[in-house]
A and B are shown apart, each in its own frame.
Chain A
Amino acid sequence: MQNLILLSDTTEHTEGTEGGHAPENPLGFVPVEFVLSLVVFGLLLFLIWKFVAPRFEQTFAERTQAIEGGIAAAETKQAEADAKLAELEQRLSEARHEAARIREEAREQGAQIVAEMREQAQAESSRIVEHGKSQIEAERQQAVTSLRAEVGALATGLAGRIVGESLDDEARQSRVVERFLADLEAQDGATSGSVN
């Protein structure tokens, strides 16, 4: 709107001063405007150079650094976490190995113990059997001995009574009994095949 007014002002003016103010060449050089442009631009350039660009550049640099620092910190943390994870995994596998080793040992020990126990039991049983055998043998021996003495006394008494001959003489008595028993045993041995 103002433009239109200005325009009409200008035209009125040129019309009014016809011949006095020739319309200027639009390409013409106006020293005042040229110099003023340079001065204003130079001033603005100086202000931007001095107060604006350094602050923006500083901010950009700080921001870049902050972001890069953040990335670096994150990378460090990641590396730490990775290391810790690796360590834990190693520990876990060590623990597994340890457990397996202990299990293996226990199994071996168990087997060994079982074997030992078995051996011991066998020894004990054979010892008991042996002991029983020897006891039986001793008792048999004892029985044989006492039987022999009794049988001897009985036979001697019987024989003495039959023969009337005193067999009080110890040596003779014993000899007679021995002979009798030997005969008996020989006889017994000859008939044992049919009896047993």
Chain B
Amino acid sequence: MFGITMAASGDEFVAPGPNSFDFDAVPLFHLGGLAVTKPMVQLLLGALVVFVFFYAAARRATLVPGRLQFAGEAAYGMVRNSIGRDIIGSRDFLKFVPYLVTIFFFLLVNNAFASIPAIQFPTFSRASMAYALAALSWVIYNAVGIHKHGFIGYLKLQSVPSGVSPAMYPLLVPLEFFSNILVRPATLALRLFANMFAGHLLLILFSTGGLFLIEYGGVGYVAGPLAWVLAIAISFLELLVQFLQAYVFTLLNAMYISGALADEH
């Protein structure tokens, strides 16, 4: 019904799509021939926010913490203890804590950009940026495993399941290799990218759709505000997703590292 009346109005609603995430055509500025787009600036801004917060919190760290230091310690300690120590184990976790802390808060801030007014774009809905972090994760956990077990030992650890009769090896070894070595970076990247992409798409759809309906008038005066209410609800859902995706990405990193460090199981 809407379709018919809308078509009749002649003012076509342009649904948000991949175009909404394409900033190549609208660079913010040019830097020596390189078109600097909004997500790139966000990436830098996110890193800056994370560093400034932690540096300010840790700069004059004292035995009895002040407010800022307490907040910094709580944030750092959450990743350090509940992700790093609990997953990797108290023997090896300490040297991975900076990596896990960095990745969690870098992702958290960049994801949160989707909900921060005047920015309102999740940096990692740009797939290439998610690819980069996933690729780095892949390099790190494999390097950690190879460093500990040697190349052959590591391949054996990741590919040959224990407690299975050797008759099953021809079937299981390629599968394990596939899932542990090849698929992991892809799932890491796509999980992050797709969540951010879809969430942002939904938000655009409901807010621009609501605007369109109200401008259209008639039944749109009821449906438009309803769409905006839904947009607000989805915004809250997105806040949860933003945190969750940062957490899951970091947690999986810790689990992959822990798996690579594991003794023969």
* Interface residues, chain A, with chain B CB atoms under 8 Å away: 1-4, 6-7, 9-11, 13-14, 17, 21, 23-38, 40-41, 43-45, 47-49, 51-53, 55-60, 62-63, 66
Contact = CB atoms under 8 A, between A and B. Distances in A.
A99 B97 CA distance: 70
Contact of A10 (B26, B73, B136): B26
Nearest to A21: B25
A3 B58 contact: no
Given A33-B126, A36-B43, A37-B128, A59 B73 contact: yes
Nearest to A2: B118
How many of chain B's residues touch chain A, expressed as a range? 35 or more
Interface in B75-128: 76-77, 80, 94, 97-99, 101-103, 106, 117-121, 125-128
B99 A45 contact: yes
Contacts of B106: 41, 44
Nearest to B129: A37
27 contacts: A1-B117, A2-B118, A2-B120, A3-B120, A6-B26, A10-B25, A14-B22, A23-B18, A26-B197, A29-B128, A29-B131, A34-B129, A36-B40, A37-B43, A40-B44, A41-B106, A43-B47, A48-B50, A48-B101, A49-B98, A49-B99, A52-B57, A52-B98, A55-B61, A56-B76, A59-B58, A66-B63
B127 A27 contact: yes
A47 B51 contact: yes
B164 interface: no
B191 interface: no
Given A41-B136, A47-B55, A25 B61 contact: no
Interface in B18-58: 18-26, 34, 38-40, 43-44, 46-47, 50-51, 54-55, 57-58
A176 to B, nearest CB: 137
B1 interface: no
A59 B63 contact: yes
Contacts of A4: 207-208, 211
A52 B58 contact: yes
Contacts of A23: 17-19, 22
Contact of B102 (A7, A32, A44, A60): A44
Contacts of B22: 10, 14, 23-24
A3 B18 contact: no
B202 to A, nearest CB: 13
Nearest to A51: B55
Nearest to A58: B61
Given A4-B208, A13-B26, A44-B106, A53 B98 contact: yes
Given A29-B128, A53-B97, A41 B26 contact: no
B9 interface: no
Given A13-B25, A41-B47, 11 more contacts: A4-B211, A10-B25, A14-B22, A21-B25, A34-B132, A36-B43, A37-B128, A44-B47, A48-B102, A53-B97, A56-B76
Contact of B63 (A24, A31, A47, A62): A62
A189 B101 CA distance: 143
A53 B26 CA distance: 38
B180 to A, nearest CB: 23
A51 B53 CA distance: 12
B199 interface: no
Contacts of B19: 10-11, 14, 23
A32 B80 CA distance: 32
A52 B54 contact: yes
Contacts of A35: 132
The residue among A51, A56, A60, A63 with the most chain B CB atoms within 10 A of its own CB is: A56
A10 to B, nearest CB: 6
Nearest to A27: B127
Given A33-B126, A56-B76, A62-B63, A25 B136 contact: no
